[in-house]
A = this chain, B = another copy of it.
């Protein structure tokens, strides 16, 4: 079915990815007083200057602390178990909405179309809640154990229980 582009759509921005990666790296190295954007960038092979800008944003909202000058860099300001993926993504990319025409108050230009988007707004909140339940400490633990895999479970009121991770067929 993919026409030419291989897959994308509804994806997280790379910046958000990089931000989460950097925070994971910081959480994995609590002994260091400060890690430079360059160091982290090299560890993951991502552009250093871009990562620097991302970390600056995370510093602005108080997730990390910036240390200027020689041997400077960034360090975690908050407990990794208290920082959710949601706030990281929010800090970097701003509020995320699955629908295209929502303003902050949920306003819409089309009256008719809004009725369709109401259920999608629920999906949006569902996604938000899932992201709020994942913290960067979980990212660190993942790779050794599988804690996150069992962490999230979806149940419908119809009794259908779907463990996140088992797709029932991709079409």
A interface vs B, CB < 8 Å? 1-3, 5-14, 17, 20-21, 24, 43-46, 61, 85, 87, 89-91, 93-100, 102-104, 110, 112-113, 115-120, 122-123, 125-134, 138-139, 142-143, 148-158, 160, 162, 164-168, 170-171
Contacts and interface: CB of A to CB of B under 8 A. Distances in A.
A96 B24 CA distance: 24
19 contacts: A9-B93, A9-B97, A10-B11, A10-B97, A12-B99, A17-B100, A20-B120, A85-B123, A116-B139, A119-B138, A123-B134, A123-B152, A123-B164, A126-B130, A129-B162, A151-B157, A153-B154, A154-B154, A154-B155
A123 B14 CA distance: 16
B1 A91 contact: yes
B168 A132 contact: yes
Contacts of A138: 119
Q: How many copies of this chain does one complex carry?
A: 2
B98 A118 contact: no
A18 B129 CA distance: 26
Contacts of A2: 94-95
Nearest to A149: B122
B122 A152 contact: yes
